[in-house]
A and B are shown apart, each in its own frame.
Chain A
Amino acid sequence: MKENNFFKIDIFLILVTVALTSIGLVFIYSSSLNEYNKFFYSFQHQIIWALSGLVILIIFYLISYQYLKNFILYIYLFFLLSLFVIAIFSKSSWLGRGLIGIQPSELAKLVSILTLALYLEKNHKDIKSLKVFLVSMVIMFIPMGLVLIQPDLGTALVFFPTFLFMLFMAGANIRYITFLFFVGMLVIVFAVLPEFEKIILQRDVKIFDVYTNNLYFFIFVSFLTLIIIVSLIGYKVTKKRIFYWIIFCVSIVLVGITVGKMIKASGVLKEYQIKRLILFVDPYKDSNNFGYNLIMSLNAIQAGGFSGTGLGQGAWSQNSYIPEQTTDFIFSIICEEWGFVGASAVLILYLGLFLKLFLHLKNIDDFYGKIIISGIIGMFLTHFVVNVGMVIGLMPVTGIPLYFMSYGGSSLWTAMACIGIVMNINSKKFEIID
């Protein structure tokens, strides 16, 4: 059987992975060219991580994903514990420093995916039930909450779409998913609304008083609750579907606005986090502080033009204008030095990666494998969209890495492990048919 596996290696995934990782290495090296030299160690580290990452990829490819089922719960619990320890005792999201430092929160995402997939498989029959949905939420949102209070908002946010992707592909009730999706959106909107009014709009918007003024807010929430109660009675009496949908929609608003208000009031979101979330709308509103990164990134991207300035030649990239230029903002270096052509090429590589993952998603019959892949797609896509969107000024600045390219061992290992698992799932497909 072993020989067979080698022939069933997904050459395309390997090539895309190696290509993206190599491009990442090239630009980390390019960043190390400037005279401060501080990124040369990054380059050396990244080479080590890339090579060890490939080993991890192969290990996960060789270990049957079914075998992981046996002990994934223990790993999950171990990670919960370590996240808890970090959240309570540590000042940062790191364990250790430098080359041997790891970010448990990064690996926790994959562990959570595997755990949730196992749970969903076990409860395949009741997949549409509310109970399964709620337990799934607990499995995913406990680590998410622990990451959030580290505080690592960006990584925490990744759990949310990953969860929705997995439940969606598992065949969960679409209404629960829709409900949760909109509530999540509203929570974010309401959590940042006061700052948005103050910093971006810079004027007093009367309608927002319903939310910001505590008395109005209380009246409004009471009013919404009243509508729900009336509709509930109406539904019990008449059994008309219209009441059900009224309850559904109003509940979304009620829960969204209440949780948003609670998060705002609780102070879980620090003011700088909120500022970063909203300033992408108009970075010039705070161009020296929180808008600075974004303006510099846009400067670099624009300077790249069609064909770029050439490797190591980017004026913005090479003169320390781009903050976090090897990690969160590596894509803007690519945009400057390789221009629209190079950036598009990178986008096409990612598109190829996603299309291939979707193809596997379609072709896998094993439920457990399918859910894992959907979780990985959800996680990859969230990282890709949030990171690239941030760099090009379409998404909030949250500071999550671009998988394969950004400097960092934990994220690279996670991504490699994911690819290994996907390849393993894919290779097992043939086994089952055999």
Chain B
Amino acid sequence: MAIETSHLNRRIIALLIITLFFFILFTARLFSVQIVRGALREVSNKNHELYRSERIHPLRGRIYASDSKIPLAFNSETFSVFVIPALVPKDKLDEIFALTESILELEKDYIMTTISGSRLHMYTRVLIASNVTLEKIIELGENKNILSGVVWQNIPQRQALELRSLAHIVGYIGPISPNEFKIRSGLNYSKDDLVGKLGVEKEYDTILKGSYGQEITMRDAKNKIVENTSSIIPPVNGNDIVLTIDTRIQELCEKALGERTGSIIVMKPTTGEILAMVSYPYYEPNKIYEDNNNITKYNTNQQKPFFNRALMSSYSPASTFKVVMTTAILEEKVLPTNQTVRCTGSLRVGDRYFHCHQRRGHGYMDLKNALAESCNVYYYTAGLKMGPEIIANYARKYGYGSSTKVDLPGESSLLIVPDANYKYRNFNQETWFDGDTANLSIGQGYLMVTTLQMANMMAMIVNEGKVYKPHFLKEIRDQDTGETIKTYEKEILHTLDLKKENWKLLKQALRYSVTDGTSSTVFMRNSVKVAGKTGTGQVGRDGHLNACFVAYGPYDAEIEDQFVVVTMVDSDNDWEWWAVKAASIVFHGINKDLDFVNSVKDLRAQWWFKQDERKQFF
């Protein structure tokens, strides 16, 4: 018996050791988990986190015209509707969902399928409708007693006024593309942001967008917010932007251009402020906000409504380039002002004849008349005499061949002042012919400019040697307080040093070309003394012409009161003189503070219009 007892005692000790082993193991494990803390892995799984953060959307800055009365682009009250399944009484599930579906015009059983059955006990918000109008929310609100578990949130949605021609300036926003996201790395963008796609919305996106706030809350396992645990980092709203655009001038220009493909720019030369910029056709941002498919419609439209012709298109400057030529002739004393050149209708250069637009010839022409009559032969002669380097040099000083640095995206990259080097690089032709010089002298050939550059050219003349950077930004304001944060300060873009009397002669010549030149009749009744130059550039070989007119006025006024108007009517219109006529309506309208209809009436210019367009003036 004693032997058996000691035998059994050994067995007890064996079991005791097993027991103690587990206690030691468990204590060690608790120590490692609770004190050393090495048992858990970081998991990027929301269900495994106690604290969840949700973004709070900032309000995007609004965009105002210069009078800063009504915002052109703003944030509207649209709502998103959610269901919190756990808050919906289980016995009234069908009733509540059916009512919500009928108010929101959703398909039957849409809510039930959106909330898959397994989530019915969860407090997670399930989005069932976005972009819901206020009226429908009011209807939901009236049924609030019945609709427990149905909640809504105001999510700011971008909207714009009916912008018409302002669309090109204001632009629109849309979901950021992967490529855009990559380009903006480091600028605090996230992958589901909305970002400006065109216009000021794109150019000043970082100013407008603001930054997200955050609400951090403790959640229980059903995702219900635990009371008194929320901490909020408020969002920083984006800043408002005030544009230099004068809406009345913009409207005047828009109607003066009418439904003709082309563009009009009105600029204040002493600051570079753009008062109006119209490009026809245009698109409507609100149509895009209403239905994203409209982007495709606009994109496939042959007339390219997304295309801002004022700065995205390159043209031959044509006869307007004679302004640059005249400057060079005066300053370089290529031909004395009173020396005449005989125009016989053409000039033989090498083995080719270069024609004047007046086939029978202008006869003897001095500089002033050559500019007024736009005599090609005179400028061929002068151009050949001074050579392509000098011409190119003056063209560049006027700003041609380089960016205007305007604060609107999409400026054309085809900005060319040709020389021998350019020709060699692009066409692999080593020789610069005299014929090239002749073409260059009348603004044809390789030369490529934008309408905005032409406006800068006129600003240079008004300012007698200075071009200010053209811009749309007037000031940046705090959206919440309305305080001005930053006012745009003018900035010199190009300078050109000429003798004082040469500026005067140039201005006189430009004034003379309006009073006595090609466009004299159009300005007969105009209240503004306009100085300017017409241009018609040949595009392709089918005889279509781009008609343009570069001008400034009032001629006698202080330069602070003068403004530059450039009109460009594309070759696909049968309105060859429209550029000049549109400019005339714009000048008169601005000067007399008249809208389009009254400006036309005042000019007694109804007869410029086709029969069916005249109705509006009665």
The reply to whether B34 and A306 contact each other, CB–CB distance below 8 Å, is yes
B364 at the binding interface (Cβ < 8 Å): no
- The residues of A that contact B103 with a CB separation of less than 8 Å are none
B48 at the binding interface (Cβ < 8 Å): yes
The reply to whether A392 and B26 contact each other, CB–CB distance below 8 Å, is yes
Tell me the nearest residue of chain A to B18, going by C-beta: A381
Q: How far is the CB of B49 from chain A (nearest CB, A)?
A: 9
The reply to whether A394 and B218 contact each other, CB–CB distance below 8 Å, is no
Chain A binding surface SS class? helix
Indicate whether A171 sits within 8 Å of B22 (C-beta atoms), given known contacts A287-B45, A340-B31: no
- The residues of A that contact B226 with a CB separation of less than 8 Å are 319
Indicate whether A315 sits within 8 Å of B50 (C-beta atoms), given known contacts A171-B7, A392-B33: yes
A393 and B34 CA atoms in complex are apart in Å by 13
B232 at the binding interface (Cβ < 8 Å): no
- The residues of A that contact B7 with a CB separation of less than 8 Å are 171
Which residues of chain B (8-36) have a CB below 8 Å from chain A? 8-9, 11-12, 14-16, 18-19, 22-23, 25-27, 29-31, 33-35
- The residues of B that contact A35 with a CB separation of less than 8 Å are 227
A315 and B14 CA atoms in complex are apart in Å by 41
B187 at the binding interface (Cβ < 8 Å): no
Which residues of chain B (255-277) have a CB below 8 Å from chain A? none
Contact pattern, B 197-234, Cβ under 8 Å of A = 1, otherwise 0? 00000000000000000000011111000110000000
A371 and B201 CA atoms in complex are apart in Å by 86
- The residues of B that contact A339 with a CB separation of less than 8 Å are 34
B183 at the binding interface (Cβ < 8 Å): no
A15 and B370 CA atoms in complex are apart in Å by 120
Which residues of chain A (333-391) have a CB below 8 Å from chain B? 335, 339-340, 343-344, 347, 350-351, 354, 358, 361-362, 370, 374, 377, 381, 384-385, 388-389
The reply to whether B12 and A287 contact each other, CB–CB distance below 8 Å, is no
Indicate whether A171 sits within 8 Å of B30 (C-beta atoms), given known contacts A287-B48, A393-B39: no
- The residues of A that contact B4 with a CB separation of less than 8 Å are 171
Q: How far is the CB of A369 from chain B (nearest CB, A)?
A: 13
The reply to whether B30 and A284 contact each other, CB–CB distance below 8 Å, is no
A370 and B11 CA atoms in complex are apart in Å by 12
Contact pattern, B 392-406, Cβ under 8 Å of A = 1, otherwise 0? 000000000000000
A301 and B34 CA atoms in complex are apart in Å by 6
The reply to whether B33 and A168 contact each other, CB–CB distance below 8 Å, is no
Which residues of chain A (242-298) have a CB below 8 Å from chain B? 284, 287-288, 292, 295-296, 298
- The residues of B that contact A302 with a CB separation of less than 8 Å are 33-34, 37, 39-40
Count of chain B residues with Cβ under 8 Å from any Cβ of A? 38
Q: How far is the CB of B592 from chain A (nearest CB, A)?
A: 73
B43 at the binding interface (Cβ < 8 Å): yes
Tell me the nearest residue of chain A to B48, going by C-beta: A295
Indicate whether A319 sits within 8 Å of B218 (C-beta atoms), given known contacts A340-B35, A362-B9: yes
B47 at the binding interface (Cβ < 8 Å): yes
Indicate whether A321 sits within 8 Å of B220 (C-beta atoms), given known contacts A171-B4, A304-B34, A340-B31: yes
Q: How far is the CB of A421 from chain B (nearest CB, A)?
A: 19
A321 and B14 CA atoms in complex are apart in Å by 40
The reply to whether B219 and A394 contact each other, CB–CB distance below 8 Å, is no
Interface centre among A302, A344, A394 (most CB of B within 10 A): A302
Q: How far is the CB of B231 from chain A (nearest CB, A)?
A: 15
A340's partner among B23, B30, B220, B221 (CB-CB below 8 A) is B30
A178 and B133 CA atoms in complex are apart in Å by 76
Interface centre among B19, B31, B47, B222 (most CB of A within 10 A): B19
The reply to whether B15 and A335 contact each other, CB–CB distance below 8 Å, is no
A305 at the binding interface (Cβ < 8 Å): yes
The reply to whether B48 and A394 contact each other, CB–CB distance below 8 Å, is no
Indicate whether A358 sits within 8 Å of B12 (C-beta atoms), given known contacts A295-B48, A394-B26: yes
Q: How far is the CB of A427 from chain B (nearest CB, A)?
A: 20
Indicate whether A362 sits within 8 Å of B12 (C-beta atoms), given known contacts A292-B47, A304-B34: yes
- The residues of A that contact B227 with a CB separation of less than 8 Å are 35
A370 and B39 CA atoms in complex are apart in Å by 41
B41 at the binding interface (Cβ < 8 Å): yes
Indicate whether A319 sits within 8 Å of B221 (C-beta atoms), given known contacts A351-B23, A362-B9: yes
Indicate whether A388 sits within 8 Å of B26 (C-beta atoms), given known contacts A165-B15, A169-B15, A320-B221: yes
The reply to whether B15 and A358 contact each other, CB–CB distance below 8 Å, is yes
The reply to whether B27 and A347 contact each other, CB–CB distance below 8 Å, is yes
Q: How far is the CB of A173 from chain B (nearest CB, A)?
A: 12
Contact pattern, B 133-161, Cβ under 8 Å of A = 1, otherwise 0? 00000000000000000000000000000
The reply to whether A305 and B35 contact each other, CB–CB distance below 8 Å, is yes
The reply to whether A298 and B50 contact each other, CB–CB distance below 8 Å, is no
A35 and B218 CA atoms in complex are apart in Å by 14
Q: How far is the CB of B410 from chain A (nearest CB, A)?
A: 48
Q: How far is the CB of A363 from chain B (nearest CB, A)?
A: 10
Q: How far is the CB of A329 from chain B (nearest CB, A)?
A: 13
Tell me the nearest residue of chain B to A169, going by C-beta: B11
- The residues of B that contact A34 with a CB separation of less than 8 Å are 220
A292 and B26 CA atoms in complex are apart in Å by 21
The reply to whether A347 and B31 contact each other, CB–CB distance below 8 Å, is no
The reply to whether A343 and B23 contact each other, CB–CB distance below 8 Å, is no
What are 21 A-B contacts with C-beta separation under 8 Å? Answer: A168-B11, A171-B4, A171-B8, A287-B43, A287-B45, A298-B33, A298-B40, A299-B50, A301-B30, A306-B35, A315-B50, A319-B218, A335-B34, A339-B34, A340-B30, A358-B16, A370-B8, A389-B22, A393-B33, A393-B39, A394-B25
Q: Which residues of A contact B (CB under 8 A)?
A: 34-35, 165, 168-169, 171, 284, 287-288, 292, 295-296, 298-299, 301-302, 304-306, 315-316, 318-321, 335, 339-340, 343-344, 347, 350-351, 354, 358, 361-362, 370, 374, 377, 381, 384-385, 388-389, 392-394
